[in-house]
Structure 1
Amino acid sequence: MCHDRCQAAKGARHEHHRPLPRPSPHRPGEPLLIADWDRALMIHYEVDPALLRPLVPFPLDLHEGRAYVTLLAFTMRGMKPRRGGWLAEWLFRPIATHGFLNVRTYVKVGNETGIYFLAEHLNNRLSLRLGPPLFGLPYRLARLNYAHDWRSGEVSGRVTDPASGAVFSYRALVDADPAAYRPAAAGSLTAWLMERYTAFTVRLGHRCLFRVWHPPWLATPAVVKVREDSLLRENWPWFAGARLVGANFSPGLAKVWMGRPLRMP
């Protein structure tokens, strides 16, 4: 029994560290940035597509006719440019590591599926100045306190808007066994929600996209309890009618490749 579990854990670690998929040759200069995405909790809600459409400047991607919004709480660590060596890495240190609470929904433009950020809450003031003009990201300043020590079997977090005092806080039970973490089954709702590699944005009035490259998430279902959600309801009143449909936790991804923003036709 122990042998089987140890072998499964080794397999999970091997999957996590296998070589990243390379950008296709017609995209020279990619990736632009590299970072670790650490200890990620995804909380999924089903929402009314009619309420979501006016807020999203791209066609919604629906799953069996249903629209979804996901909250992704994680810490980005060690972001640096792909090129530039130690000097570029040193220059990026002020924005290299900080937390995020991303509020994202799902879109499809032509044949390409992806995500659209309704908001990204973060606790780094310099990043707050850089993200919107460079990538078109809807950054908002917040206080983030994450306790994502998943090996204890429990994670929790609290995100506070310093201006309004509105809060999003949660507690989740997760599996402490590394062998429990594996890619989502192909064709499942979990895979549909988690495996997205394109972000669509609007930058300086122009529709843009950027892509990421990483192995599939290794994750497990989480039993989540949302303790307070005034941060969501104050920004989007329709969240009062959103239905919590599940959550997933991942120890994270190493050396995620992030592409440069590309202006769409």
Structure 2
Amino acid sequence: MRPFLTATWRYLVMLNYEVDPEVLRPLVPRGTELDLWQGKAFASMVGFRFLDTRVRGMAVPFHQNFDEVNLRYYVRYRGPEGWRRGVAFVKEIVPRVAIATVARVLYNEPYVALPMRHTVEMRDAERGTPGRLEYAWKVGGRWHHLAARTRGAPQASAPGSEAEFITEHYWGYTPQRDGGCAEYRVEHPRWSVWEVDASEFDCDVGAFYGERFTPFLRGTPSSAFVADGSEVSVYPGTRLPLGGSGTPGPGVGQAA
């Protein structure tokens, strides 16, 4: 099967927060269940560069290179081969109205289009020179942002580590309007990560993501790191059977 979308994802700032599972369960797509690490549920604020984007091999003018910031959490689905570890999204921000509209209307992905800007200071960061990244979006009359300062050179995540859990998910799950769930596969090589000396997250969490997230996202993240990223391929989605083997949460299909 040919990929539906190909791109390069680069310089992923990942701020990871332990969240009460009861906050996430109402959002869990039908047929999946929360994927826990050492018994803990996580949500991550992620900002990155979306580069050389192609849909079915074709570049769309003025829509190849852009930023994305998303709030995501972790789910799993039992496929024929065993557990498939994936992500689902609370909200995804891009600067292009066309991208957000297509994703929202055709795929029910929780995209919004907002003014965005970025700072990428990563010259020689692969060799250990300190770097800085910032992704910002404008809403409610002010700029919000997440940022990180890297140290050292990127290293492969240790097996069983929190960094491995956060970065090594290769499936996406999206609630559908009829209460079902779409599944799509994401293919990329294993990423390396930079350690982070300092991170920032400045956002009106309650207004943008819902008050239920405020006590968790306004605290200190459980971990923060920057993934180097790579070329990625996203394959066409399929519908999960309505009687999926995961445990659905209540209120499936609602996105904040």
- 1:188 corresponds to which letter in structure 2? S
Does the 8 Å contact 2:119/2:133 carry over to 1?
A: yes
- Residue type of the partner of 2:41? A
Contact kept? 1:94, 1:126, Cα under 8 Å: no
2:245 maps to what in 1?
Answer: none
Between the aligned residues of both structures, percent identity stands at 25
1:18 alignment counterpart:
none
What is the match of residue 187 of structure 1?
160
Gaps of 5+ in 2: 124-129, 242-256
* Structure having the larger proportion of residues in strand: 2
Query: 2:227 aligns to what?
Result: 250
Q: Secondary structure at the match of 1:222?
A: strand
Kept after mapping to 2: 8 A contact 1:99/1:144: yes
**Are the counterparts in 2 of residues 224 and 246 from structure 1 also a CA contact under 8 Å?**
no
Amino acid at match of 1:99: D
Aligned residue identity for 2:234: M
Using structure 1 for the length normalisation, give the TM-score. Answer: 0.78
| TM-score, normalised by the number of residues in structure 2 | 0.80
Q: Greater helix share, 1 or 2?
A: 1
Which letter does structure 1 place at the counterpart of 2:89? Answer: F
Q: Distance in 2 between matches of 1:81 and 1:240?
A: 36
Residue 24 of structure 1: aligned partner:
none
Aligned to 1:93, what secondary structure does the other structure show? Answer: coil
3-state SS in 1 of match to 2:63 = helix
Deviations 1:186-212 (CA, angstroms, capped at 9, x unpaired)? 111110111111000023433101111
| Aligned position for 2:251 | none
Structure 2 residue 135 is matched with structure 1 residue 157: yes
**Alignment RMSD, CA only?**
1.9
What residue number does 2:87 align with? 115
Measured after TM superposition, the shift of residue 134 of structure 1 is 3.1
Deviates more, 1:208-217 or 1:52-61: 52-61
Structure with larger RCO (C-alpha < 8 A, sep 6+): 2
User: Which runs of 5 or more structure 1 residues have no equivalent in the other structure?
Assistant: 1-28
- Report how far residue 144 of structure 1 moved: 1.6
CA deviation after TM superposition for structure 1 residue 214, in Å: 0.7
How far apart are 1:122 and its partner, in Å? 0.8
Please identify the structure whose Cα radius of gyration is greater.
1
Distance 2:109 2:197 in 1: 30
